[in-house]
Copies of this chain bind each other. A is one copy, B any other.
Amino acid sequence: MLGRTYERENCSAARALELVGERWSLLILRDAMFRGARRFTEFERSLGIASNVLASRLELFIENGLMEIRRAPDGAEVREYVLTPKGLDLEPVIHALSAWGDKWAAPDGAPILYEHSRCDGAVHLDLRCETCGDSVEPGEIVAVPGPGLQRA
């Protein structure tokens, strides 16, 4: 059994993956972000995912504040799982995965396009240097210790 946490790691990517690194997690969030899924049955149908797996992922999201439960606005006795700002902030992760897949694993072209809701323009993910202002290419980035680095 592989655990869910990366205890030895003092790394923000590892911390993020503890919450969204399990199978289906990011696709559940994607459906909440981009397909309007809110109800258990909507996620289940959209993903074809086993209900016990879906339930455990949603529970983890609720526990860690990525989603919150709301009563359906039509008053029905059904719970809705709604992204919080913390969950919504994972959008760039979905976007980065999609951009990579579009480039390297979509021979027929991008299956999904991401557009800016205010003007329908294409949304592009960019790594940019705050000092020189240049767009930064993969391989031009170095990791250095930050203020939160504490070694066990």
Contact = CB atoms under 8 A, between A and B. Distances in A.
Given A98-B11, A138-B88, A16 B143 contact: no
A116 B129 contact: yes
* Oligomer copy total: 2
7 contacts: A8-B47, A11-B111, A95-B96, A111-B145, A112-B146, A118-B129, A122-B129
A92 B48 contact: no
A96 B98 contact: no
A76 interface: no
A30 interface: yes
A115 B142 contact: yes
A136 B116 contact: yes
Interface of A: 2, 6, 8-17, 19-24, 26-27, 30, 33-35, 47-48, 53, 85-86, 88-132, 134, 136, 138-150
A147 to B, nearest CB: 4
Given A9-B27, A34-B142, A108-B148, 6 more contacts: A2-B53, A16-B100, A89-B103, A95-B96, A113-B144, A123-B127
